[in-house]
Each structure stands twice: as C-alpha cells, then as structure tokens.
Amino acid sequence: MTLYCTLDECKQQMEAQDSTDDAKLITQIRQVSRRIDRMFMPNRRAPLFAPYIETRNQFQFAGSAIDSYAGTFYLGQPLLAVTGVGIGSEVLTVGTTVQLYQGDTSPYLSLQLLNRCCGGWYQYVRCAGCEALPFLSVTGTWGYNVDWTNAWINTLQTILNVGGINASATSITVTDPEAANDLGEAPCLSIGNLLQIESEWLEVTAVNTTTNVITVRRGVNGSTAAAHAQGTAIYTYAVDEQIKRATIRQAAFQYARFGVYDSAKTTGGANAEFAPDVLYEFNALLTLFANM
C-alpha cells in the first residue's frame, strides 16, 4: 500500500521536534491511508490516490458505458496512462486504434476509439462471435491525480552506491536526504515517500540522516524491481494536496487519542460506545471524492 503523507510532513504539521514516537505516528499514517483505500476500493489491493500498474478486465460492454457518438467507453475508474487494451482475443493498438479520451482531464475515466466504423465498439462484440458480451481488458497506470504530468518531483538526489544497485538491494546512498527538493521543500526524502527511479517505484521505509542511506521496498505498486546505475535520478510522488492534508490531520488526531477513552459510555456493562474517531473534515473530504 502507499502512504498518503510522509512522516516528516505529519511531524511538521504537529510541530513535533523529536523522534520518540515516530513508530506510533507511522502506524497511524498507515492506518489512515489504508482506511481511505478500503473506503474507495474495498475489493482491490490497489490504492486510489497513488499510481498503480495493473491489468483490469471487469469492464463489460453495456449501453450505459458506451457513447457511440463520441466513440468512448466509460470505465468508471480513474486511469492515468494506458499501455494495453484487449477485447477477448482482439488486441487494440494504443495511439492508433484507441486512446485516453481527451475530453476528460487527468485522471481519465474513458477510452476513445479512433477511426471507428462498422458500429464502433460494438464491432468487437460481433467479431468475438460470443453468445455473451465480452469484457474489455485495460492495462495501464490507475489512480487519481489531477496533475499527473507534474506528479513526480525531482529530489535533486541521485544513487551514489558504487556500481549502482541491483534489483534486490534495499539500501540506497544519497547526498543528503534532509536537503530541499526541486520545489524547495525539505526534507526531500522521508519515510512514506513513493519514489520513482527510472520505471521502478519504491517505498521509503527508513532514513538514516547520519549515513545518508535510505531503506526502501522494491518494485511496489505493480512496478518491477530493476538494476539502476550510479548517478540515476530519484523522484518522489506528489499526493493530491487535499488527500495529503486529510491524512495528516486524521493521523495526528488518532495519535493524540492514544489510550484516551474518557468519553466511553457503557450499557449494562456489556457494550461500549466510543467517541467518533473521524474528523469532520476527513469525512467530508472523502464524501466529496466518493461523488467524483
């Protein structure tokens, strides 16, 4: 899973000066991020507000999904980039036969058929020769980001390991993880960051500011771990600001309530009701995105 804010982003908002409870705070950030994912994607392991590479094949041909005039197929799930589209044994060529619908804005919710004729999308229903309607299979990068083009921020750090790193290495040496990134934000690397190194995505799980070594999980979010040369640039993913803020505030709220059950009410000594553990702001924001 992906964390929707980093440890340092949360601590900065809380004005936390020491690292005594870092582990507890990370636990809360992880729980809140998982809570968001389960709310929007209850039956999937994929995050919604971070990129995830996956093939999804549950898109069934139906009149409600197809706009014959515009030649579009509504997916109903946010798509950031598409690399493959198939209908049964038929493979459509991205960029020639099909593309992301340009009438949408990032993230995209529809595919558009190009050079359509003979019934548009329905031509593939007939060609499939099946009694049942076929399913559309889409391979791509899924997730919600309103500015996908600028979603990756240059940390201004590179891999300093002599000879680079292989596909299984979990330690990466950089110049200074506490330095500012390309946007002037510091620290440029923190626990919880989703990194991009060439085509691989990695999650930062630890940062040693003495040795300038970061510990990472490799090949996350559907990407593939690979070797990277010394000097390769490192980028971090920018989570949607509203989601990041909501995660920070909710995680800080849960952290502050550790062991506090003063508002508990018991009924007959058998049942207990605890005060709501969700901030109004957090709940309102998720409701907003639920209707997107």
CA 99 to chain centre: 22
**92 within 8 A of 116, measured Cβ to Cβ:** no
Q: Which residue has the tokens 């040496």?
A: 173
Q: How many CA atoms lie within 13 A of 207 on its CB side?
A: 21
Burial class (CB in 10 A: 0-12, 13-18, 19+), 261: exposed
- Report the distance separating Cα 53 and Cα 42, nearest Å: 18
How high is the mean pLDDT in each 10-residue block of the chain (292 residues)?
93 86 93 87 80 92 86 92 91 94 83 81 66 83 92 98 98 98 97 98 97 98 98 97 91 78 46 57 71 56
**161 within 8 A of 234, measured Cβ to Cβ:** no
- Report the distance separating Cα 241 and Cα 177, nearest Å: 22
Q: Which residue has the tokens 């950030």?
A: 29
Domain locations along the chain = 52-142
Does this model's pTM top 0.85? My answer is: yes
Q: Tell me: cis bond preceding 107? Omega within 30 of 0 counts.
A: yes
**73 within 8 A of 121, measured Cβ to Cβ:** yes
> Which amino acid is residue 136, in one-letter code?
L
What was the pLDDT predicted at 260? 54
- Report the distance separating Cα 18 and Cα 33, nearest Å: 23
